[in-house]
Amino acid sequence: MANSNADAEEKKEMDIRSFSSSQHNQTPYIHKVGVPPKQGIFKEFKTTVKETFFADDPLRSFKDQPRSRKLVLGLQAIFPILDWGRSYNLRKFRGDLISGLTIASLCIPQDIGYSKLANLDPQYGLYSSFVPPLVYAFMGSSRDIAIGPVAVVSLLLGTLLRNEIDPSKHPAEYLRLAFTATFFAGITQATLGILRLGFLIDFLSHAAVVGFMGGAAITIALQQLKGFLGIKKFTKKTDIISVMKSVFHSVEHEWNWQTILIGATFLTFLLFAKYIGKKNKKLFWVPAIAPLISVILSTFFVYITHADKRGVAIVGRIEKGINPPSVDKIYFSGDYLMKGIRTGIVAGMIALTEAVAIGRTFASMKDYQLDGNKEMVALGAMNIVGSMTSCYVATGSFSRSAVNYMAGCQTAFSNIVMSVVVFLTLEFITPLFKFTPNAILAAIIISAVLGLIDYEAAILIWKIDKFDFVACIGAFFGVVFASVEIGLLIAVTISFAKILLQVTRPRTATLGRIPRTNVYRNTQQYPEATKVPGVLIVRVDSAIYFSNSNYIKERILRWLMDEEEQRKATSDPKIQFLIVEMSPVTDIDTSGIHALEELHRSLIKRNVQLVLSNPGRVVIDKLHASKFPDQIGEDKIFLTVADAVLTCSLKLPEEV
């Protein structure tokens, strides 16, 4: 072992000597770093705005088109149905019909259950699967999203609204506030899309969303214990400790064994159906239709046995007919206006995050492009219209969208088919749900939300990034042990903290030469990389801004001090050149330039010369504007690290 280490060290030294001698024996051609031509202020501003807000060049298809064609393209951009509708045929209709009927069978029982999470009557869940999907079918660009109420948004909306108004004491005011929140959720979504601010939803990291969704799933499942066990007096708090206290305090007097039997039987059936669908993808329709079968069988059982008279809680009367108008019920003034706006913004952002994530997932699976900003406008428009037609916040449902995809949907027309089925249900079938037990709705919701607990993603997050895992687990515990709002706040806070940490504390690395090449790489990643005698090479892996410029300067000086101590201990030559590799530095501001100037002054006191390698177009332009190259010398800026090392090595004394 000792011999092999000695051989490796000898080989390394020979490589350094051969490199050094080759440097002194050649007069290389050094290519200068190009300085871009000066841009006007207006042109530079225009370019920045375009890259920030119009990176996808949405007006590309309008170029060189006659006015009449531009009008058609404009209408197609707002209403994509005018585009794909021209090529619609019987084959596509067959796929959409089957998928629409399948998701309708899933959405009807789910909607009745989800409306209870929002503390609303059952018909409002059905209303929200009638009008919003119709609007989305005309304006949405995703072929696979199935629109309607979802568990997480329903719980979030119900929790936030209940903090403002007690739904049991003031049901009319609560309903009005729900419509107001839905209206402003739509306004928020549409505004983000129109102003092309969709990138804002990306600030909620994937890890935080995984944790938040998992925590929300646990919370939703715990809330269903009221209906599942037949408890009448149940806590209004959502944290796990309060819920479990409420459950165990009522064990002697309020638990109803008939209710538990119904719930447990059909929950087992639903989970078994999901297992079958998971094992055999061709049987996707089994878990899709299982909730409706459960509702029909349990309703029939309660009706013929009169179980409702033995303590089994039932849904009761569901109002018949389609959505009544609700424009006059939205608060546009008064004390509740700001409460509706606050709740709407939060619910709208979460709904948007879920819908866009779902849309992108299925778009990548089918290999088509999804315009996130158009999606936001479509989702916003459907919620605005929905708020005026007695709906609460609707968005893309992952479970229904997955069923829609597996059922072979071709276009957004499957949402229209689902809406028609919901319309027929509202007009003719709702009285039949009167004897549906609450336990079956609880079982349906529990089986649905279990899929939101993505433990495999959490394990992967732990393996990849420990800080991401902190965001994930923080959001999860925040929801489970505190509340949905606290969990959401933790998720957002940790996501922003990670961004700030990465911006204010960027990575830096010392580089060495890969043996027998002119390539310079991180010495920690490539231990075999050799350091250049008399030269220290440091790479900065970030833009240099006011938020990190001082840290970068101090970190580079610390690298220099550490390296000098190491070389002094090994009797290596003193460092005379510090090369800063700037390829990853995408931008620099005045604070960054001041930091470089201070670094240059500090290095002069140490008799070390500052050298820059490969600054980009934006960076070199700003450096020249500040006259920084005049301070260090134009001959100290190189196109590559290899060029910089070659030139510096030629200037070193022969003994080095």
- Cα separation, 484 vs 290, in Å, equals 29
pLDDT tens track for 144-192: 999 999 999 999 999 999 999 999 999 999 999 999 999 999 999 999 9
pLDDT at 249 over 60: yes
Q: Are residues 464 and 423 in the same domain?
A: yes
For 53-75, b where at least 16 C-beta lie within 10 A, e where not — what string? Answer: eeeeeeeeeeeeeeeeeeeeeee
pLDDT at 221 over 90: yes
Q: Are residues 347 and 376 in the same domain?
A: yes
CATH of residue 646's domain is 3.30.750.24
- Cα separation, 196 vs 189, in Å, equals 10
Q: Into how many domains does the chain fold? A: 2
With CA atoms as reference, report the closest residue to 87 among 420, 410, 368. Answer: 410
Q: Are residues 479 and 523 in the same domain?
A: no
Q: Are residues 174 and 206 in the same domain?
A: yes
**3-state helix/strand/coil string of 530-594:** ECCCCEEEEEECCCECCCCHHHHHHHHHHHHHHHHHHHHHCCCCCCCEEEEECCCCCCECHHHHH
pLDDT tens track for 413-439: 999 999 999 999 999 999 999 999 999
With CA atoms as reference, report the closest residue to 263 among 231, 229, 296. Answer: 229
Three-class secondary structure of residue 411 per DSSP: coil
In a domain, 605, yes or no: yes
Q: Are residues 476 and 524 in the same domain?
A: no
**Contact indicator for 249, 529 with CB cutoff of 8 Å:** no
| Strand 577-581 with 637-638, pairing | unpaired
The residue segments making up the domain with residue 297 are: 89-497
In a domain, 33, yes or no: no
Segment 77-98 shows an average pLDDT of 94
Q: Are residues 576 and 527 in the same domain?
A: yes
Q: Are residues 538 and 466 in the same domain?
A: no
Segment 576-595 shows an average pLDDT of 96
Query: Domain boundary at 451, 467, 497, which?
Result: 497
In a domain, 2, yes or no: no
In a domain, 276, yes or no: yes
In a domain, 328, yes or no: yes
Q: Are residues 415 and 526 in the same domain?
A: no
Res. 23 pLDDT band, cuts 50 70 90: very low
Segment 203-227 shows an average pLDDT of 92
Q: Are residues 469 and 530 in the same domain?
A: no
**Contact indicator for 382, 132 with CB cutoff of 8 Å:** yes
Distance of CA 466 to the CA centre of its chain: 18
Distance of CA 356 to the CA centre of its chain: 8
| CA distances for 505 relative to 361, 545, 556, 559, angstroms | 32, 11, 12, 15
CA dihedral (122, 123, 129, 132) in degrees, to 10, reads -120
Query: Domain boundary at 497, 524, 556, which?
Result: 497
In a domain, 284, yes or no: yes
In a domain, 608, yes or no: yes
Res. 59 pLDDT band, cuts 50 70 90: confident
Query: Domain boundary at 497, 526, 561, which?
Result: 497
Q: Are residues 462 and 517 in the same domain?
A: no
Q: Are residues 510 and 452 in the same domain?
A: no
User: What's the burial of 432, exposed, middle or buried (CB within 10 Å: 0-12/13-18/19+)?
Assistant: middle
pLDDT score of 55:
73
pLDDT score of 1:
46
In a domain, 124, yes or no: yes
Res. 13 pLDDT band, cuts 50 70 90: low
Segment 230-238 shows an average pLDDT of 90
pLDDT score of 28:
61
With CA atoms as reference, report the closest residue to 320 among 203, 425, 235. Answer: 425
Q: Are residues 421 and 528 in the same domain?
A: no
- Cα separation, 637 vs 643, in Å, equals 10
pLDDT at 12 over 60: no
pLDDT at 587 over 80: yes
